[in-house]
Structure 1
Amino acid sequence: MKMKRIVFSLCILSSLNLAAQQKDTIDLLPVEVRAVRAGSTAPFAKTNISKSEIQKQNLGQDLPFLLSQTPSVVVNSDAGNGVGYTGIRIRGTDATRINVTLNGIPYNDAESQGTFFVDLPDFASSINSIQVQRGVGTSTNGAGAFGATLNLGTNELIKKQYVELNNSFGSFNTWKNTIKAGTGLIGNHFTADVRVSRLISDGYIDRASSNLKSLYFSTAYLSDKSDLRLNIFTGKEKTYQAWYGVSQTDLAANRTINYAGMEKPGTPYENETDNYQQTHYQLFFTHRFTPFFDFNTAVFLTKGKGYYEEYRAAQAYADYGLASPAPGVDTSDLVRQLWLDNSFYGSIFSLQHHSDKSSLLFGGAITRYDGNHFGKVTWAEKGLSNPKHYYDLDANKNDLTVYGKWQQDLTNHLQAFTDLQYRKVGYDLNGFKDNPGLVINKNYNFFNPKLGLSYHSNGWLAYTSYSVANKEPNRDDFEANTNEQPRPEKLNDVEAGIENKTSRSSFGVNLYYMKYKDQLILTGKINDVGAYTRTNIDDSYRLGVELQGSVVASKWFKAAANLTLSRNKIRNFNEFIDDYDNGGQKVNFYPETDIALSPSVISSATLTITPVYPLSIDLLSKYVGKQYLDNTTNKDRKLNPYFLEDVRAAYSFGYKWLKNVNLILQVNNLFNKKYEPNGYTFSYYYNNNLATENYYFPMAGTNWMAGINIKL
């Protein structure tokens, strides 16, 4: 009860805001980023995160953990310490429904629509700004935004030359080493920046190690009218698999157990790993016709290739299309690799005109994805003859997006916002691993309008908006009977808010109602090939309020907090449960249930104390209410609520040739809370009894990271 009182007090202390939102600098951003971001008076819920805010917490954890204090956010980690594979949910929606762009270029995986920041290790060290839009938000490029949009920008002009050495070390043998350097602006025209990073960790979960490397290079030529910029960045990851979670039985006594690799007799298989490299090439061109009229275009290529390796016991040779190595030998332990070799390429563009009273923007993107999925057996205990790809399947996806945005001052204080988007998506899927004969050719045409009004005066902003988003199924959704193909999803989003900002305080209230049609969720239903794929449900919604606030009480103390209260419901839900006694599945009907992994309460708070300049201490609080593992609101299938407290201390100084030295110490989970922010469940009938198996992804107890950042 004491912890509940603490978090309640912190939220009341700032019923006010997560942090005083930065003064809007969208007009200073590169054109390609400005095209997909919402301005300060746009009628959408948004949070802007500056470079300095990113840097002070960038000690090695993946990008989702750097966003943990923003409103309505819940993060998780397979390895349990925020390094390696991580996940993020905003308003209860997962990463497959969060649109992510890098400098305006789509980043979501074209097939799964997920985002895998593990493929861009330490990318936060190259980001100069982030905007988080909650809800549908303004039109952008790439996959439809069904919960939020993340716009990441790296195309910053740094006019002075610099060298930075950033190093951190902490629990679980976690190391981050980063070197950054830039030429500054040479001859008023040329600039170049480079970063090299290495990040390793043993992880909290057994064997959940990470070995991550990345390189970022950007160069630009600037003139009065035109700019040309080239970005090349790559990330290479090798992580030991930790995606099975921990069973409810093991959670109490052995919460770090990892089942990956355990099919091998004796010690676990040492190379049960995920291996992937992703390289991005981005070329931007911007031309300013007048101070009020500019054009931007970019071409890009994202190249990815990698595999995950698995040890599998007692596998039938026939299942892999392999001949038996000897008479009577039909099965063997083996090692297999599941490969993905893909290319994602295309172009984005925007044409922008703005004046004192209006802003008009026309933009879009055309992209193509070519993916090759194949698997191979690399070793078999009882012999391997004529090894070959046991599946080899191609998948293609085309995506065309065009949008127009018009913001018009109706009076000195009232603005109208109109945003119309057309999107055409085409799939060509030539089979699946477990259903190689299923060929899918689907085309979708989506119209996504957004309308809103904003009123601003003397530090006050009030707004309301109505937005429509349509979203295509992902690749795995199609692996079903051809007569039972998934339908696209549709979202109607209504937002209304009010904000007030002064030099010493800010607060904001945002109300939202997100009404889904044909949302795709897991129901437990099995398709024709025995897989649990997502099923369209007719009626579901999210209704909530987001409170934010901040206050600068004195020169040595400031506070910020946010609180989200929501209802996340499905109407008329059918649950399918496997019946091992009689075959088939049993069906349970629920008139109304909670949407899985959607807590009704999320809050965070930050207290910053500066006892002696330049020493600052941040107390970081996070509360997440209970979450259900499936869509049945069954109390036996849930994640418990949790409250976390982190503390971070930073001290900076400079001396002669050392422009700045920043020392940081952060202790996470100060009170050693045992908690699990993510998990999954499945149930079945056996011996006339209902059995339920819950699996959880535990997070580390008290742990720490220390960093030293040096600017020369």
Structure 2
Amino acid sequence: MKKFTRLLLMSVAILFTTVVLAQTTIKGKVIDAEINAPLPGANIVEKGTTNGVSSDFDGNFILTTQTSSGQIVISYVGYGTVTITFSSSKDLGKISLASDNSLDEIVVTGTGVIDLAEDRKTPIAVSTIKANQIQEKGGNSDLPEILKSTPSVQSVQKGGFGEGQMFLRGFDQTNTAFLLNGQPINGVEDGKMYWSNWSGVLDVAKAVQVQRGLGSSKLAISSVGGTVNIVTKTIDRKEGGFVQQMIANDNYIKTTASYSTGLMSNGFAFTALLGHWQGEGYADHTDGQGQTYFLSFGYKSNEKNIFNFMVTGAPQWHAASGYNTLKTYLEKGRKYNFAYTGVDSPNTISEGYYPAGRNVYHKPVVNLSWDLTINDNSSLSTVAYASLGRGGFGSTLASKGVPTYVRGSNNNHNWYGLVTNYNNQLNENLSFNAGADVRLYNGIHFRSVNEFLSVESVNATSAYNGGAYTVTKTYGGLNPWGLLFNPNNDHAQRLHTYYDYEEKINYVGAFGQLEYTQDQFSAFFQGSASTQSHFRTEYGEAKVKGKSEDSDKINNTGFNVKAGAAYNLNDNNVVFANAGYYSRQPYHSDLFINDRSSNQLNPFVEGNQKITGFEAGYKFLGDIISANLNVYHTTWDNKVDYSSKDTDKDGLADQFTKTSPLKQVHMGAELEVFTRPFDGFTFNGFVSVGDWQYKGNITTRTTDDAGAVISEGATSYIDGVKVGEAAQFTAGISADYEILPRLKIGANWNQYDNLYGAAAFGSNEFKTENNRGSIKLPSYDTVDTGISYKMLLGENDQNSLQIRLNVNNVFDEVYIENSRDNIHVDADDVAWKGVNVNNGVWFGYGRTWNLSMRYNF
């Protein structure tokens, strides 16, 4: 018995030793190849077994295998699978997974100037939308709609193609910085964004990252609300492409095709994308059409040098959607859009209605990037770019009720710039980078005849042109391609009766960052300084024949500083805090009293705007559930507000008002929760609560179009008034489930509350200290859903056919998304859901849908 016991113990020991010796420990980090971001919840399985683990929130994993050699399979829904061979315990380092629709890993060029949050150890409040999510849920929407399921983001569609707006933490688009591969794309003159000029951006985007608040950008940009980074395709490693056909409500149709050679053995790569869309628009008489093109030429000469040349554009035209009173919409339906004339035009580009006007624009963007790896510790990235915008807004003029011609309000520009960044890992704990941002901008603004209807010429008068003269040419007309290649450069063929002027805005900035990391602690400091010059040339109001009038040259400087620190309490818990201060130069549109016909400076501009931001956050990093909690406080001071009125209803503004100084305080909290209860199922949610108010009171100055003062010194009592146009409470839930292999369904629910009308400071509502503030609009919620199926085709299933159906606002919710007035309800007033029907409003879209079929090869 004793011998048997010894033999049994020896056998168990040998078996145990054999098993232990056969085991191997494999570790690594799974990342998204497109933006170098961690992929939490990726599946890591030992091939041929059920032995596996999932990556944590930072993408890390440790797998103890059952054998000493073999293969592990790494997979994630929506990404390509990677198989890796192992023969001993080892650290695999970073393992890149690429989105299915990109076929393989992407090399992102210009990485040094694309300020993604993952490039810095110290966290910020951030949300990232990846390529597969954009492809599935984007449909025929503009970018703001894709971002509405992230905290503190509000999307307002406003009726026409490309007319949407995005609000971030209560700040509009002029106070959110938008970057395309590190290149600033907000309007230089006023910071505005026109999504109609970027209608094809989602076709080429590999990822979109929303950085709320201070963000990680090192540029001296106007990111009061935050920063949105759009990262496009560059060099695909493998050959392939796709063809996609989409149809949607209101006779929308879109065709897109793309092909990439992949990175060839000679180091070259080429990618092209072409698309065409057209549709009638959700609102009445808001038809439009356009194209998208994207060309990328890459060259990897060696391991240290990568070059990429890119050109992209989205020429388009679309009929605009005006606003109406709530009463009008209730009587005629929420899709109502008043058409000024129903005359048919002989020009096929503009055939049909001219409702509130027709936007026509073409803005090609060209950039050349160079990534240089100097050595193991340092690198240099440089992007040079150019943008040539041509187009404007056409509206019909009539004589005695008969439409005569289409008057174009042209807004052309020539924009050149360069962004460069040098990065150096000084030692194990300290990294340093520095760079420069240069922008040279020439804006060209004039009115012209863009199409003749019932006349063949138009008379005008101008001292610059020697008195009375006749306009007989239309140049590019209403064709976005024609406006690009045949612009009106002849002052004698412009309508000086209205306006004709140019401006030059030159900007030079320098920036730098230091970051220290050690064990569980990290800290950073950023700083930037810039100088900006403004110069304006007047033609329309010039007094001498052939001689323009020039303004004084204005120079102003600005800067920003940011600092922050983070501490990892353990592997699952991180806390951080950031603070920043911006001294932001006024926009060009702030500097001049009447930017259409006067070089006169605005006396209300008193130095730079001052922005102070504080934020703190907590991150919980779990395997199945993770969460982010952020709190923020932003003060925006010394702001100037500008407005205009058309008092005689002739289509031309004739009163201009400046309000100053204006102060806003925005504070709030945001919570995001991400869960992956089991394989193939994700369930996420967010809540954001804000308190956005005006602080102090303001004074106004109103002038006519000749600069004569109409009123001055009036006080608007806005202290404590709620900031309007964006909901101060938002919440959402999203779920996606792969119910069968490659068959996925999903849905999003979004709730909006504490939404207020825009504060019209000059209205009677704010003339007394007992004003009632901004009107509160009804809360609303929407539900969107989608289903997709991917069929594998071809040898080794290397091709696929994907079908996707999206239905937005499934329950056809009727809601007001914005109000430009603040008319309260008094006795005998008619109201709808507590809103006076005399307010001018925009209704949100009802139920819409889109269906796409995409063949990947």
Q: TM-score range by the shorter chain?
A: 0.7 to 0.9
Partner residue in 2 for 1:344: 415
Distance 1:26 1:513 in 2: 38
- Whole-angstrom distance in 2 between the partners of 1:116 and 1:353: 37
Residue 235 of structure 2 aligns to a residue whose secondary structure is: coil
Q: Deviations along 1:425-458, whole A, 9 cap, x unmatched?
A: 1111235989997936322211200010111230
Structure 1 position 439 matched with structure 2 position 577: no
What SS does the corresponding residue of 1:427 show, helix, strand or coil?
strand
Matched, 1:358 2:486: no
Question: In structure 2, what is the equivalent of residue 422 of structure 1?
Answer: 529
Q: Distance in 2 between matches of 1:205 and 1:479?
A: 35
Distance change >3 Å, CA 526–CA 441, structure 1 → 2: farther
Q: Tell me what 1:642 maps to.
A: 780
Matching residue of 1:126:
204
Deviation at 1:136, TM superposition (A): 2.5
Give the equivalent residue in structure 2 for 1:708.
Answer: 853
| Alpha-carbon distance between aligned partners in 2 of 1:656 and 1:214, rounded to the nearest angstrom | 29
- Residue 416 of structure 2: SS of its match in structure 1? strand
**2:204 and 2:662 mapped to 1: Cα distance?**
42
Q: 1: distance between equivalents of 2:95 and 2:587?
A: 33
Partner of 2:229: 151
Is 1:553 matched with 2:660? no
Residue identity matched to 2:779: P
Contact 2:125 2:213 in 1 (8 A): yes
Correspondence for 2:511: 403
C-alpha distance 526-474 of structure 1, shift in aligned 2 (>3 A): farther
**Match in the other structure for 2:687:** 563
Relative distance call for 1:398 and 1:272 in structure 2 (3 A) is same
Aligned to 2:584: 471
Counterpart in 2 of 1:373?
A: 445
- Give the structure 1 partner of residue 721 of structure 2: 593
User: What letter is aligned with 1:158?
Assistant: D
In structure 2, the CA distance between the partners of 1:683 and 1:505, relative to structure 1 (3 Å rule), is closer
CA contact (8 A) 1:263 1:313 kept: no
Residue aligning to 1:13: none
For residues 250 and 375 of structure 1, what CA distance do their matches in structure 2 show?
31
Q: 1:56-81: per-residue Cα shift (whole Å, max 9, x none)?
A: 2232211221112111111122326x
Does the 8 A contact of 2:721 with 2:773 survive in 1? no
Q: CA deviation at 1:265?
A: 12
Q: CA deviation at 1:282?
A: 0.5
Paired position in structure 2 for 1:87: 165
CA contact (8 A) 1:351 1:362 kept: yes
Amino acid corresponding to residue 342 of structure 1 in structure 2 = H
Determine if contact 2:343/2:403 at 8 Å carries over to the other structure. Answer: no
Map 1:263-278; keep pairs closer than 5 Å: 268-269=353-354, 272-278=357-363
Give the aligned residue type for 1:184: G
Residue type of the alignment partner of 1:359: S
Q: Does 1:679 align with 2:836?
A: no
Q: Tell me if structure 1 keeps the 8 A contact 2:420–2:435.
A: yes
Checking the alignment, whether the CA contact within 8 Å between 1:36 and 1:141 is kept in structure 2 is no
Letter in 2 for 1:376: S
The amino acid that maps onto 2:603 is: E
- Verify the 8 A CA contact 1:84 1:210 in the aligned structure 2: no
CA distance, structure 1, for counterparts of residue 613 and residue 235 of structure 2: 36
Quickly say closer, same or farther: Cα 1:201–1:126, change in 2 above 3 A.
same
Deviation at 1:362, TM superposition (A): 0.6
SS of the counterpart of 1:681?
Answer: coil
* Secondary structure in structure 1 of the residue aligned to 2:845: coil
Q: Are 2:839 and 1:694 equivalent residues in the alignment? A: yes
Task: Please identify, of 71-80 and 204-213, the stretch whose mean Cα deviation from structure 2 is larger.
Answer: 71-80
Change (3 A) 1:444 1:334: same
Aligned-pair distance for 1:31? 4.3
Distance 2:400 2:592 in 1: 23
Helix, strand or coil at the partner of 2:366: strand
- For residue 233 of structure 1, the aligned residue among 305, 312, 315 is 312
SS of the residue corresponding to residue 696 of structure 1 reads strand
Task: Work out whether 1:164 is the aligned partner of 2:231.
Answer: no
Shift of 1:524: 8.5
Q: CA deviation at 1:270?
A: 7.2
Instruction: State which of 492, 508, 516 in structure 1 corresponds to 2:636.
Output: 516
Matched AA of 1:643 = D
Name the CA shift for 1:291/1:450 in 2 (closer, same or farther; >3 Å): same
CA distance in 2, matches of 1:376, 1:123: 30
Deviation at 1:521, TM superposition (A): 3.6
Unpaired runs of at least 5, structure 2: 1-55, 61-93, 97-106, 346-351, 460-469, 472-492, 544-548, 594-599, 648-652, 703-709, 760-765, 830-835
> Equivalent of 1:54, from 127, 131, 134?
134
- Deviations 1:385-440 (Å, cap 9, x if unpaired)? 4124223201111111111011102x411111100111111111235989997936
Q: Which of residues 376, 388, 393 in structure 2 aligns to 1:308?
A: 393
* CA displacement 1:37-88 (0-9 Å, x = unmatched): 22363242112222222222232211221112111111122326xx432211
Of 692-701 and 284-293, more deviation after overlay is shown by 692-701
Residue 210 of structure 1 and its aligned partner are, at CA, apart by: 1.9
Aligned to 2:566: 454
Within 2, Cα distance between the matches of 1:23 and 1:576? 54
The structure carrying a bigger strand percent of its residues is 1
Q: Counterpart amino acid of 1:126?
A: V
CA distance in 2, matches of 1:226, 1:265: 56
Q: Secondary structure at the match of 2:236?
A: coil
- Amino acid in structure 1 at the alignment position of 2:809: N
Match of 1:319 in 2: none
Q: Is the 8 A contact 1:399 1:426 kept in 2?
A: yes
1:484 matches 2:597:
no
1:537-577 deviation digits (Å, cap 9, x = unpaired):
34320010011111112235321011110110112234879
DSSP-derived class of the 1:52 partner:
helix
Task: Give the alignment partner of residue 291 of structure 1, picking from 372, 376, 381.
Answer: 376
TM-score if structure 2 supplies the norm length? 0.72
Give the count of matched residue pairs: 666
Comparing 568-577 and 466-475, the one that deviates more: 568-577
Does the C-alpha gap of structure 1 residues 469 and 433 become closer, same or farther in structure 2, counting only changes over 3 Å?
farther
Structure 1: gaps spanning 5 or more residues = 1-19, 317-330
Q: Secondary structure of 1:593's match?
A: coil
Name the amino acid aligned to 1:337: G
Query: How far apart in 2 are the matches of 1:640 and 1:314?
Result: 42
Out of 587, 596, 620, the position equivalent to 2:748 is 620
Q: Which moved more, 1:627-636 or 1:663-672?
A: 627-636
Are the counterparts in 1 of residues 573 and 621 from structure 2 also a CA contact under 8 Å?
Answer: yes
Shift of the alpha carbon at 1:349? 0.5
Say if 1:246 and 1:256, in contact at 8 Å, map to a contact too.
no
Q: Please give the secondary structure, in 1, of the residue aligned with 2:661.
A: strand
- 2:277 aligned partner, one-letter code: L
Instruction: Assess if the C-alpha contact under 8 Å between 1:568 and 1:598 holds in 2.
Output: no
Distance in 2 (CA, whole Å) between partners of 1:314 and 1:542 is 49
| 1:506-545 paired onto structure 2 within 5 Å | 506-521=626-641, 530-545=654-669
Mapped to 2, the partners of 1:562 and 1:432 lie a distance apart of 53
Matched, 1:99 2:191: no
Q: Distance in 2 between matches of 1:478 and 1:304?
A: 23
Across the aligned residues of Structure 1 and Structure 2, the Cα RMSD in angstroms comes to 3.4
Structure 2 vs 1, CA of residues 268 and 561 (structure 1 numbering), >3 Å: closer, same or farther? same
Larger RCO (CA under 8 A, 6+ residues apart): 1
Q: Deviations 1:167-188 (Å, cap 9, x if unpaired)?
A: 2111111112110100011106
Distance in 1 separating the partners of 2:637 and 2:59:
37
- Please list every run of at least 4 consecutive aligned residues from structure 1 whose deviation after the TM superposition is greater than 6 angstroms: 24-28, 263-267, 432-438, 523-527, 575-578
- Secondary structure at 1:259 match in 2: coil
DSSP 3-state at the match of 2:336: coil
